[in-house]
């Protein structure tokens, strides 16, 4: 009977969340506010009601369904981002993407890590948050770009950066955990091997799924058969990545890259994913907002504000450095392009949980900082994306 009650509750909540997404669409249309920010705000309100009114310790409106829904949403976004990386586009914008991406990562991580150390936070906290700060939320950035309707060089460069940002994030996080493990217990080699498998295995599985999918998907007539094939690929990527402990985002991105570059009929598969991804994104953004834990806001307020400010500053400064290094090649880009890379969500939260497991003495502080700052980045990040796209260099 309890299971039946839980199922009924989840079905009602799903219906309510999708209904609220329609309301968010209407408000966004009339106010020009990003609907992503509105959905995250709905999630924060859900957390406030559950924790403040109903007395639950944490807000999980969909219980155990939350994790698979979030994973599927991120896999769909990463798959579509991989589909943006055609060889022709990479030849045209690849060097620009690489320079800006590495500049933002290097300056941003140094700003967060160095700043936190300078104000007196422990090395484990500073390095963990510096590594976590590298990750960007591809779902929020992609949706914000789509809402603007832009498809110019700048929007393609930003899409390309967020397509590889999580790969960089995983590398930096793995190196940071390896360094801390070596300093603390001599387990650096194990952490480095784990990060290597998470990345290398993701590439192998992405290619292994992408090659047969490139031959199979889209060969049938457009419509339900193609949609079924696209969904099958997304579920396989999500499931196998979880089973093998790989980066599902990198696996999906590699599969999308393979499909878009080895077959001439690729567009059908990507179009079918675009048609069905929004409901999953609704759950992702609302659940991201609902993950805030108000109990830790008071005790972690200082590090949350410091981390948030340093990350925004580092992103901006890194973008400016990248523009300076590019010279004339960056003349079509907004000098503040780094600010378009501030949204942060699922991957950062996952890294925070891993860091908390390895450094339990600082776990609550790290998780509270990342989750709470993520809410702010998800609320205001899309506004910054729009601002950057509103003008070029």
pLDDT for residue 392: 57
Residue 293 has pLDDT above 80, yes or no: no
In a domain, 280, yes or no: yes
pLDDT for residue 205: 92
* DSSP code of residue 331: T
Tell me how far apart the alpha carbons of residues 328 and 305 are, in angstroms, rounded to a whole number: 36
pLDDT for residue 346: 62
CA distances from residue 134 to 104, 269, 387 in whole angstroms, order as listed: 8, 30, 21
Poorest-confidence range of 11-20, 46-55, 124-133, 377-386?
A: 46-55
Residue 81 contacts by C-beta under 8 Å, 6 or more apart in sequence?
A: 138, 142, 159, 162, 163, 253, 256
In a domain, 3, yes or no: no
Query: Residue 91 maps to which CATH number?
Result: 1.20.1530.20
Q: What is the pLDDT of residues 202-228, one digit of tens each?
A: 889 999 988 888 777 655 445 445 677
Average pLDDT over every residue of 358-375: 79
In a domain, 224, yes or no: yes
Average pLDDT over every residue of 2-27: 78
Residue 1 has pLDDT above 50, yes or no: no
Average pLDDT over every residue of 292-310: 80
What is the SS3 assignment for 156?
Answer: helix
pLDDT for residue 185: 57
Residue 313 has pLDDT above 90, yes or no: yes
In a domain, 15, yes or no: no
| Structural domain containing residue 362 | 66-389
Tell me how far apart the alpha carbons of residues 287 and 16 are, in angstroms, rounded to a whole number: 13
In a domain, 47, yes or no: no
pLDDT for residue 111: 92
In a domain, 18, yes or no: no
Percent of the chain scoring above 70 in pLDDT: 82
In a domain, 108, yes or no: yes
Q: What is the pLDDT of residues 229-257, one digit of tens each?
A: 778 888 999 899 888 888 777 788 888 88
0.75 surpassed by pTM:
no
Q: What is the pLDDT of residues 114-147, one digit of tens each?
A: 999 898 888 888 888 998 888 887 777 877 888 7
Tell me the angle at which helices 153-184 and 363-389 cross, rounded to the nearest 10 degrees: 160
Chain-wide mean pLDDT for the chain? Answer: 78
CA distances from residue 16 to 11, 22, 80, 162, 284 in whole angstroms, order as listed: 9, 10, 27, 31, 14
In a domain, 58, yes or no: no
Q: What is the pLDDT of residues 26-43, one digit of tens each?
A: 887 777 666 777 887 888
Q: What is the pLDDT of residues 91-116, one digit of tens each?
A: 766 788 888 888 888 898 999 999 99
Q: How many domains, the chain? A: 1
Tell me how far apart the alpha carbons of residues 314 and 134 are, in angstroms, rounded to a whole number: 10
């Amino acid at each position: 009977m309890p299971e039946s009650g839980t199922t009924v509750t989840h079905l009602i909540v799903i219906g309510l969340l999708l209904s609220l997404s329609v309301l968010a669409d209407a408000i966004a249309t009339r106010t020009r506010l990003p609907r992503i920010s509105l959905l995250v705000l709905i999630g924060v309100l859900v957390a406030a009601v559950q924790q403040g009114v109903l007395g639950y310790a944490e807000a999980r409106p969909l219980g155990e369904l939350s994790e698979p829904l979030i994973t599927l949403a991120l896999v769909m976004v990463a798959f579509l981002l991989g589909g943006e990386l055609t060889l022709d586009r990479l030849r045209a914008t690849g060097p620009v993407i690489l320079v800006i991406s590495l500049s933002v990562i290097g300056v941003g991580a140094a700003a967060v890590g160095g700043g936190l150390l300078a104000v007196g936070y422990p090395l484990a906290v500073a390095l963990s948050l510096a590594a976590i700060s590298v990750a960007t939320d591809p779902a929020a950035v992609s949706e914000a770009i789509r809402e603007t309707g832009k498809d110019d060089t700048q929007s393609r460069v930003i899409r390309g950066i967020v397509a590889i940002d999580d790969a960089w994030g995983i590398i930096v996080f793995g190196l940071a955990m390896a360094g801390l493990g070596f300093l603390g217990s001599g387990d650096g080699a194990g952490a480095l091997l784990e990060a290597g498998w998470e990345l290398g295995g993701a590439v192998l599985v992405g290619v292994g799924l992408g090659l047969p999918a490139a031959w199979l998907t889209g060969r049938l007539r457009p419509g339900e058969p193609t949609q079924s094939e696209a969904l099958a690929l997304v579920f396989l990527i999500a499931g196998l990545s979880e089973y093998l402990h790989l980066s599902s985002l990198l696996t999906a991105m590699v599969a999308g890259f393979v499909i878009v570059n080895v077959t001439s009929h690729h567009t059908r598969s990507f179009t079918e994913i675009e048609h069905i991804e929004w409901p999953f994104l609704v759950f992702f953004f609302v659940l991201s907002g609902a993950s805030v834990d108000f109990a830790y806001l008071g005790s972690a307020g200082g590090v949350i504000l410091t981390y948030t400010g340093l990350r925004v500053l580092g992103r901006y400064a890194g973008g400016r450095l990248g523009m300076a290094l590019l010279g004339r090649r960056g003349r079509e880009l907004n000098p503040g392009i780094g600010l378009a890379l501030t949204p942060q969500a699922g991957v950062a939260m996952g890294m925070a949980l891993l860091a908390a497991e390895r450094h339990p003495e600082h776990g609550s502080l790290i998780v509270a900082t990342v989750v709470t700052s993520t809410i702010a980045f998800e609320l205001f990040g899309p506004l910054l994306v729009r601002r950057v796209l509103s003008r070029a260099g």
